[in-house]
Each structure stands twice: as C-alpha cells, then as structure tokens.
Amino acid sequence: MRPTRYNNSKTLHNIRGFTLLEMLVVLVIIGLVASLVGPQLLGRVDSSRVTAADTQIRMLKGALDTFRLDVGRYPSAEEGLSLLMTAPSDERTQRKWQGPYLSEALPLDPWGNAYQYKPKNSTSVVLYSFGADGKAEGEGIDADVGFLDPNSP
C-alpha cells in the first residue's frame, strides 16, 4: 500500500477540519454535562471521606484493644497513638509490648488531620476525627466521627 501524496492543490482544499463554531458548541455541551454531574460526584466524595474516617477509627480501635490485651492498659494521653507503632520507653511496659500494632504508619484522617485520642478509663477510650471542618462538633460532613465521649460538651 502506497502512501497518498497530495500534489494537487484541489485535493488539499477538500480536506476539512472543524470550524471554530463547531468546537465551541462541543465545549458548551461538555460544560453543561460537567455542571450537572459534578456536584453529584463531589457529594459522594465527601460522604466517602466520612466512611473512610469511620473505617480507620475502627481499625485504630482494634489496634488499641490488642495493645490493651498485651500490656494491660491503653496508652496514656501523653503516649498517644504513636505507642501503637513504637515501643514504650519504660522497661516494664516494653517487656509486654508486642507491636507494632499497625501494619503501616499511623494514618491521618481523610482531611489530613490527626485523630483525637484520650483514654477514658481502663476499659474505654475516646477516639475520633473532627470531620471536614477540623473543629469540634459540627453537622453533616463537619460532624465529629468516631468513639466520642458522651460526657463532653
């Protein structure tokens, strides 16, 4: 098969591209479709972040419970969640520590903030994310997610 050569100017004139008007019409149609579909997709992204935060919190709670079974207590507020990844400094706790209790690095919440943690007593903890706004309380996607302290304001 031989390549086609365009020696004749008449043949070149018959090859046609898109006009500016046709391109603008296509761009307007794409813009309309994006404006209809975009907000629905963004709403799903927000709700999926809340679901991801809830899943991560449950994973962290499981790691904290395993730590408690091994050591006999939850990490103190000063030790925090980092004790799930690094051995404690005190020798007595270090002998019981069987970690790391997470297979990967300590995660941030889906909005890039650290999870809030404090032991409530010897059998429960407060573990949560502030939500999308990064502030305490809130509604909708800004609501706190996790194991919250019912006695806090």
Evaluate whether residue 108 is within a structural domain. Answer: yes
Evaluate whether residue 1 is within a structural domain. Answer: no
Instruction: Look at residue 82 and give its three-state secondary structure.
Output: helix
Residues 6+ apart with CB under 8 A from 76: 119
Evaluate whether residue 153 is within a structural domain. Answer: no
Instruction: Look at residue 128 and give its three-state secondary structure.
Output: strand
Q: Which two tokens stand for residue 92?
A: 């007595």
The pLDDT of 123-135, averaged and rounded, is 86
Provide the whole-model pTM: 0.68
The pLDDT of 56-65, averaged and rounded, is 93
Structural domain harbouring 58: 22-147
Q: Specify the pLDDT at position 153.
A: 44
Given a cut of 80, whether residue 4 has pLDDT beyond it is no
Instruction: Look at residue 50 and give its three-state secondary structure.
Output: helix
In terms of Cβ atoms closer than 10 Å to its own Cβ (0-12, 13-18, 19+), residue 61 is: middle
Evaluate whether residue 10 is within a structural domain. Answer: no
The pLDDT of 121-149, averaged and rounded, is 82
The pLDDT of 13-42, averaged and rounded, is 79
Q: What is the pLDDT of residues 102-125, one digit of tens each?
A: 989 999 999 999 999 999 887 889
**Residue 54, amino acid:** D
67: CATH: 3.30.700.10
**Which alpha helices (H) appear in the chain, and where do they start and end?**
9-14, 20-71, 91-96
Evaluate whether residue 137 is within a structural domain. Answer: yes
Evaluate whether residue 7 is within a structural domain. Answer: no
Q: What is the pLDDT of residues 18-29, one digit of tens each?
A: 788 888 888 888
124-129 and 116-121 beta bridge pairing:
antiparallel
Q: Specify the pLDDT at position 11.
A: 56
Evaluate whether residue 128 is within a structural domain. Answer: yes
Evaluate whether residue 8 is within a structural domain. Answer: no
Q: Specify the pLDDT at position 151.
A: 58
Total domains in the fold of the chain: 1
